[in-house]
A and B are shown apart, each in its own frame.
Chain A
């Protein structure tokens, strides 16, 4: 008697993102073991990320360097200017990178932090004289008329009507603030400093980053966090809260999401999400599903961390530049365990980010400045990968014999798709390939007499692929080279026979 073919429908597979923390056997099929070059799209499906389109046409000044920081200089009069750094130079512009490095000024590193403040852009990095850009030229901050007490900090924050500078190598626990609305005066007016070396809850720490949120000045140490209230009047600001054991890895991992502040700690991505509600700091873990992976990545990182928050895309990108790994956290909601849904982008070459005022996401690469748009990486394909966790179909003791895999894809025009499966945790995958046809969207009246079919928008594509082999657990994967069209994985219907007990 023929056995019943059991259908297991993986609806919106991996819409919960990657999970490498829980046991593969016990995992919800909504997680993914691998989700590379993927995002969670607006419908909650796993989809290919967008590519980047290089804007820069003249990167002579950049040479063989890489854009290490980008910032849009917002000014009250005139067009905004994109500032970027790389190859030990300061650039203005996007299509042509114009070297704006001050004459006679030698730059030894590209780890600049750039902030807007009072119609100027300020650039700080450790052991380097700060620079300021007023829309016409970049000059040394200490050369500005009236400049006094300028410090060479590694972190700068524009908040509460002042510039806040810290990370001075000789005073790692001191925060300096400028005079009100005067970013070049650190010894006159209402400027000042605070040495928090006696405030650290663990006795000692060093300041890594600063942030301002919900009326609080947040000071991130390497393994502590201190918040001050009343920073509008720094002379009287008072300690509001301290957190021990949680700090920030790098200043460039701190991002504001409007209602929250995200930062990378040594144990993963953290936030102050509940701080406002509970008036304390029960730090929630936002990378709980990839904790070990992210810890491993940050421990192996020896170059830069870069991050960006894009409300338009709904994600927070965290890039380990030296390892060329980017984790994409979907910030539209959290899972049951409080974690964001996360996917991974590999080998993108992204080395810096900024979000423009109009919502465009600019990316720094070795090719200059790109925009996060389209579905090609500067004209090249990139591979989208999805692998499910090990599926046991509810009974890990029985053999499963896969008969068919029926993926439902949205988009993926002309893409070569590879369906993969493997049994029993083996890394050897069987593959079935198919190419999605040329799916040109046709609209009634517009395309009536052409060769296209009338469709309702994005095209869906369903295939039924025969599979082979058997095992107690099954991993199903899908890979596709993205070349110009979006791809979303709607579902995968797995048809299997349940065999005997082992």
Chain B
């Protein structure tokens, strides 16, 4: 029995059928092309579009404000300005730490101030204290000499060679040497004291930053926890994105396959139809 498909075959073997087939093939190819473009648009929309994966991931990876509080009451907080988006962090020590810091800073300033002062007045002050300490003994020595000279009847002695008596000159020289030594020692002491004040100032200045440094040091564990959380979120977003992208990619690959099949079939069909139509009869 000649079946309907024989009829179809015959029709297709005709020129009209061939033309129809070619047209159909071209339509299929066009449809395949169009589908591929749609798939690209969808991929773009799904990945980078306003509600796409990128937007979603951005939201997932957005900064999370946090605050770290140390055991001594110091706090470190980090947040983003909702308007400007500018990041800001705040560090605040406890009142006790602030008081210590203020005190140390004040003292450091005082020490630096003293260290920067001219030493002349201090030298004189130290010298006077040294002379005050030495003066009783010097007075005893002077009185002893005076008594000795009086006993020897020499109190009124004046000489061109010694000024007074040789003993008087010796004592005066000794006292003057002691005075000079005291003066030099006072100068040396004042210099050392100035250096010591500078060192103390430096130490106090350094000490004044210890609460802050300790606050920063105390932030480390908190910051580590926050970083871990941020890393976890990042990993989560990454995984989400990768999964999303994988599914989307599979979808797109399927669409691309379909479009390719349709396009190939249409192209072949059109080629075959057009080939039979334009074949010369022997």
Residues of A at the B interface (CB closer than 8 Å) are 173-174, 179, 187-199, 226, 228, 234-239, 242
The verdict on B136 contacting chain A, using a C-beta distance below 8 Å, is no
The verdict on B150 contacting chain A, using a C-beta distance below 8 Å, is yes
Known: A198-B155, A239-B151, A239-B154. 17 other contacts (CB 8 A): A190-B159, A190-B161, A191-B160, A192-B159, A192-B160, A192-B161, A195-B158, A196-B153, A196-B156, A198-B156, A199-B153, A226-B153, A228-B153, A235-B157, A235-B161, A236-B166, A239-B152
A174: B residues at CB distance < 8 A: 156
Q: List 26 A-B contacts (CB under 8 A).
A: A173-B156, A174-B156, A189-B160, A190-B160, A190-B161, A191-B159, A192-B157, A192-B158, A192-B160, A192-B161, A193-B157, A194-B157, A195-B155, A199-B155, A199-B156, A226-B153, A228-B153, A234-B157, A235-B157, A235-B159, A235-B162, A236-B165, A236-B166, A236-B167, A238-B154, A239-B152
Contacting residues of chain B (153-185) with chain A, CB-CB under 8 angstroms:
153-162, 165-167
- The interface residues of chain A, by DSSP majority, are classed as mixed
B156: A residues at CB distance < 8 A: 173-174, 193-199
Q: How far is the CA of A194 from the CA of B154 in the complex (A)?
A: 7
Please provide the 10 A-B residue pairs with the shortest distance between their CB atoms, ordered closest to farther. A195-B156, A239-B153, A192-B159, A238-B152, A199-B153, A235-B159, A194-B157, A191-B160, A193-B158, A239-B152
A192: B residues at CB distance < 8 A: 157-161
Contacting residues of chain B (195-234) with chain A, CB-CB under 8 angstroms:
none
Contacting residues of chain B (110-164) with chain A, CB-CB under 8 angstroms:
150-162
The listed residue (A179, A195, A197, A236) touching B160 by CB distance below 8 A is A179
Whether B158 and A194, one on each chain, are in contact in the complex, defined by CB atoms closer than 8 angstroms, is yes
Q: What's the nearest-Cβ distance from chain A to residue B150, in Å?
A: 7
The residue of chain B having its C-beta at the shortest distance from the C-beta of A229 within the complex is: B152
Q: How far is the CA of A237 from the CA of B159 in the complex (A)?
A: 12
A189: B residues at CB distance < 8 A: 160-161
The residue of chain B having its C-beta at the shortest distance from the C-beta of A239 within the complex is: B153
Residues of B at the A interface (CB closer than 8 Å) are 150-162, 165-167
The residue of chain B having its C-beta at the shortest distance from the C-beta of A175 within the complex is: B156
Q: How far is the CA of A242 from the CA of B152 in the complex (A)?
A: 11
The residue of chain B having its C-beta at the shortest distance from the C-beta of A189 within the complex is: B160
The residue of chain B having its C-beta at the shortest distance from the C-beta of A240 within the complex is: B153
Q: How far is the CA of A190 from the CA of B157 in the complex (A)?
A: 12
Q: How far is the CA of A292 from the CA of B155 in the complex (A)?
A: 39
The residue of chain A having its C-beta at the shortest distance from the C-beta of B166 within the complex is: A235
B152: A residues at CB distance < 8 A: 238-239
B159: A residues at CB distance < 8 A: 190-193, 234-235
B153: A residues at CB distance < 8 A: 194, 196, 199, 226, 228, 238-239, 242
